[in-house]
């Protein structure tokens, strides 16, 4: 298994509070991604990173921010959590290059916003 961990694995928080999810990899891969999984939608890209301090938005980035200060860590922050952000969040990593390198996924974080 790829060395990807996510923390916390489960979190319940109240509307309006800030939340930070952490993704940690031991593979030294350049690319890191945050997706959210919701029933009927598959996984949708929130943000991604293509290097330290290099990040960009995905299709569902509103209400989320990210940071990557080290190769191994990619943080996802919900500045002010809303009920619509209740979801399962997955981190993924991919090696660099132009080939069809597959992405490897972490175990996920289940977030409930009450």
Partner 1 sequence: AQSVTQLGSHVSVSEGALVLLRCNYSSSVPPYLFWYVQYPNQGLQLLLKYTSAATLVKGINGFEAEFKKSETSFHLTKPSAHMSDAAEYFCAVSVGTGRRALTFGSGTRLQVQP
Point out which residues bind partner 1 (CB under 8 A).
4, 31, 33, 35, 40-45, 48, 50, 56, 58, 90, 92, 94, 98-108
CB of 63 to partner 1, least distance (A): 19
Residue closer to partner 1 by CB (options 60, 81) is 60
CB of 67 to partner 1, least distance (A): 17
Residue closer to partner 1 by CB (options 50, 63) is 50
CB of 85 to partner 1, least distance (A): 19
Q: Helix/strand/coil (H, E, C) string of the chain?
A: CCCEEEECCEEEECCCCCEEEEEEECCCCCEEEEEEEECCCEEEEEEEEEECCEEEECCCCCCEEEEEEECCEEEEEECCCCHHHCEEEEEEEECCCCCCCCCEECCCEEEEEC
């Amino acid at each position: 298994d790829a060395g990807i961990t996510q923390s916390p694995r489960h979190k319940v928080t109240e509307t309006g509070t800030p939340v930070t999810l952490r993704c940690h990899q031991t593979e030294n891969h350049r690319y890191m991604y945050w997706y959210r999984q919701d029933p009927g939608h598959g996984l949708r890209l929130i943000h991604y990173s293509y290097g330290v301090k290099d990040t960009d938005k995905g299709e569902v980035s509103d209400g989320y921010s990210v940071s990557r200060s080290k190769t191994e860590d990619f943080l996802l922050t919900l500045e002010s959590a809303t009920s619509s952000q209740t979801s399962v969040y997955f981190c993924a990593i991919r090696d660099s290059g132009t080939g069809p390198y597959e992405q490897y996924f972490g175990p996920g974080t289940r977030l409930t916003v009450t």
